[in-house]
């Protein structure tokens, strides 16, 4: 038997939606959440693809997610949008706030969107890519659960605390990067555990604070930041900007509120959108074209842009579909069988 299953992107979408509906997620949420999983599989980001169905199903079954929450949009200030997600997944809350965020960014040159009371389990790049495709520069960040030790320590304080950035490019895919401030995404460690593979000894510590290559031990202990003190400083910045600044929980508070359920983090997300025309007026197109020289200088010496690998994987997936581990596929099918 093959150890993989080939699925078209439409089949990935149908599987994700059906599974989410099976565990009780309302239709609007199921569609929004499924699209982030399709994007993960399509762009070769397996730890953010269909694997996340297992994560979402567990969060829903544990009662950590409001299955039919209706996001509430408000305007606390001229350049600010706030969406109370009501304890639902973040995807629908972002969709609810995005039109007003874009309008305010175009009106004032810069605007910010605060998502509060949302459950977050996905990558941030789909959100900033959507804004960049609309011609805006975007920056997003969110805390998670306290899984990551600060540089110089071995006990969890930070979440994986991703940061994502999107830049519009004329006639090309937007320039997008998205990375955790931890040494690696937690989902990547979980995939190693599922596959029975060791991890590098610089990814994290066991519960006694010793470097470990055992993914299960690190998941029970603490992950490391990337770049030591630099990643640690960025992680602290995310905690502050997407936590207390918008009236939301830090990663430590999110983990405490989880109360041992092992569900996805609940808290906030901050998204800043900037309109080049707001800064540059009629000269915006000229200066965006100048930015292309930077990208050419990177690629001209054989280096790749951060989003290039995803775009290449996207082109293949749109033609050939994607390969999903057979064991993961079986676990996803089993979700429906036990409901």
Residues labelled as active-site residues: 47-48, 188
**What are the backbone dihedrals phi and psi of residue 2, each rounded to the nearest 5 degrees, phi first?**
-70, 145
E strand or H helix at 295? helix 284-299
DSSP SS3 for 325: strand
Structure tokens at 277: 């025309």
Concatenated DSSP letters of 195-209? HT----TTSEE-TTS
Quick check: 125 and 139 in contact, CB under 8 A? Answer: no
- Write out the E strands in the chain: 4-7, 72-77, 80-89, 110-119, 137-141, 163-167, 175-179, 204-205, 222-223, 266-274, 322-325
β partners of residue 165 = 139, 177
The residue written with tokens 């965020």 in the block is 101
The residues, any chain, with a CB within 8 Å of residue 115's CB and separated by 6 or more, are 83, 85, 90, 93, 94, 97, 268, 269, 270, 271
Cα separation of 287 and 284, whole Å?
A: 5
Burial 324-333, CB ≥16 within 10 A → b, else e:
bbeebeebbe
Crossing angle between the packed helical segments 125-133 and 90-108, to the nearest 10 degrees: 40
């Amino acid at each position: 038997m093959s150890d993989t299953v080939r699925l078209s992107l439409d089949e990935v979408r149908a599987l994700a939606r059906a599974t989410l509906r099976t565990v009780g997620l309302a239709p609007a949420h199921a569609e929004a959440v499924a699209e982030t999983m399709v994007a993960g599989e399509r762009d070769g980001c397996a730890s953010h693809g269909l694997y996340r169905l297992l994560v979402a199903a567990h969060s829903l079954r544990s009662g950590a997610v409001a299955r039919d929450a209706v996001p509430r949009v408000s305007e606390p200030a001229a350049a600010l949008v706030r969406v109370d997600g009501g304890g639902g997944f973040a995807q629908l809350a972002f969709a609810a706030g995005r039109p007003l965020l874009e309008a305010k960014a175009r009106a004032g040159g810069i605007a910010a969107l605060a998502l509060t009371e949302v459950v977050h389990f996905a990558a941030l790049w789909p959100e900033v890519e959507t804004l960049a495709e609309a011609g805006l520069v975007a920056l997003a960040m969110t805390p998670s659960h306290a899984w990551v030790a600060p540089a110089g320590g071995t006990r969890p304080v930070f979440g994986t605390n991703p940061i994502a950035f999107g830049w519009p490019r004329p006639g090309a895919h937007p320039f997008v990067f998205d990375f955790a401030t931890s040494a690696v995404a937690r989902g990547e460690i979980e995939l190693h555990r599922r596959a029975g593979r060791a991890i590098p000894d610089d990814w994290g510590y066991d519960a006694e604070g010793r470097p470990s290559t055992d993914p299960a031990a690190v998941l029970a202990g603490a992950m490391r930041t990337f770049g030591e003190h630099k990643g640690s400083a960025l992680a602290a910045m995310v905690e502050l900007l997407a936590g207390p600044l918008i009236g939301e929980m830090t990663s430590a508070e999110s983990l405490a509120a989880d109360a041992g359920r092992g569900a996805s983090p609940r808290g906030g997300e901050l998204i800043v959108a900037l309109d080049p025309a707001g800064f540059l007026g009629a000269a915006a197109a000229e200066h965006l074209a100048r930015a292309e020289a930077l990208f050419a200088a990177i690629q001209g010496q054989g280096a790749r842009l951060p989003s290039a690998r995803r775009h290449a994987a996207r082109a293949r997936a749109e033609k050939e579909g994607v390969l999903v581990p057979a064991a993961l596929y079986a676990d996803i099918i089993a979700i429906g069988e036990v409901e």
